[in-house]
Homo-oligomer: A and B are copies of this chain.
């Protein structure tokens, strides 16, 4: 937790639950990434945290923006981002939303299917398009599924088709999985992209861009490698597979840009036991799975928790949210220990909650308001 956030929490005592974001950390993260990957153009993945203050700070730093919807495009444009710095990176778009983005000046679009290509040809003639390819993504903490991307052979055909349809067949994207811990995954993915560059050259299509997606980590409970190692893995893979002919690189950090910048403060609402034999306490917080901690789904993301009693004796706990929903449990299988002295009314800080929290929050579930964001 940054000193600035610690001071803010101590002095302001904001009503819980809330996420406090230190904008200076985001500026630092941006500069670090820029320094480590000087050849890459950074497109902040707005979905990670769409707080206007964050978009503003990154726009001032010169960042580009990866957007998922018309709503996110409007957000960025409304805050002064230039349309040529916006990518419409969702592979699932309504044709009228493509047309809307195009009318606003957006010229860079993702796709992974023929049907999407047809929409793009109609609603965004001549735009730069890149095709997302499937990755297996072992080693990622937040599972990626097969929802996005298509097989490389299909992607190759689709990029040929893109040119036939009057679009600019610009490049290839992949995503190795969020919070990816296996650095070799970038080598596999970049190798696959390079093979497609060669295959398409035979069809006289010169791809110019590789979008390496996100996947750089935020610091949760477990230790992670420094971001330097990730940048190094990406650049060695590019050099290995593209030699002296390195194409434009796009990177779409979300979690790694804003995750560590946020701290969620919550209150202990109840501590209880279920029967006389049970050895585990149930700790109920005023924030849960439907109030912003959606990424605890299947206990995937394991947040670091800090209490006022850390350092003393601890015991095993089950952590749950405040709603009447039985699925609103944060950690039951994962081994979490909390201080024996923890009491109802204590404040708990949940670290690295700057990404994928507030915007996941439900609009009004059980009558609880959405999670607040405070940017400082």
Contact = CB atoms under 8 A, between A and B. Distances in A.
Interface string A175-187: 0001000000000
Contacts of A70: 367
B328 A367 contact: no
A275 interface: yes
A200 interface: no
Given A47-B365, A68-B366, A294-B290, A147 B116 contact: no
A242 interface: no
Interface in A319-374: 320, 322-329, 332, 344-345, 358-370
Interface in A111-129: 112-116, 119
A191 B367 CA distance: 33
B359 A361 contact: no
Interface stretch (A31-39, A149-157, A164-172, A307-315): A149-157
Given A143-B326, A286-B94, A326-B142, A153 B276 contact: yes
A269 B69 CA distance: 12
Nearest to A74: B367
A5 interface: no
B67 A367 contact: yes
A360 B365 contact: yes
A51 B309 CA distance: 42
Interface residues of A, number: 80
Contact of A90 (B90, B324, B327): B324
A270 interface: yes
Contact of A134 (B69, B274, B276): B274
A370 B366 contact: no
A148 interface: yes
Interface in A234-273: 267, 269-273
Nearest to A252: B324
Q: Count the copies.
A: 2
A146 interface: yes
A175 B91 CA distance: 42
A228 to B, nearest CB: 27
Interface in A273-294: 273-276, 282, 284, 286, 290, 294
Contacts of A345: 95
Given A74-B367, A362-B363, 16 more contacts: A47-B366, A71-B364, A71-B366, A72-B366, A73-B367, A115-B271, A119-B344, A142-B326, A145-B329, A147-B326, A147-B329, A150-B275, A153-B275, A297-B297, A359-B362, A361-B362
Interface of A: 45-47, 50, 67-75, 89-95, 112-116, 119, 134, 142-151, 153-154, 178, 267, 269-276, 282, 284, 286, 290, 294, 297, 320, 322-329, 332, 344-345, 358-370
In the A-B complex, the 10 residue pairs with the closest CB atoms:
A71-B367, A113-B272, A151-B275, A72-B367, A69-B367, A68-B366, A363-B370, A144-B326, A145-B326, A92-B284
25 contacts: A46-B367, A47-B324, A47-B367, A68-B323, A68-B367, A74-B367, A75-B367, A90-B366, A92-B270, A92-B320, A112-B272, A115-B271, A115-B272, A115-B344, A119-B344, A145-B329, A149-B274, A150-B272, A150-B273, A153-B276, A154-B276, A178-B326, A297-B297, A358-B363, A361-B363
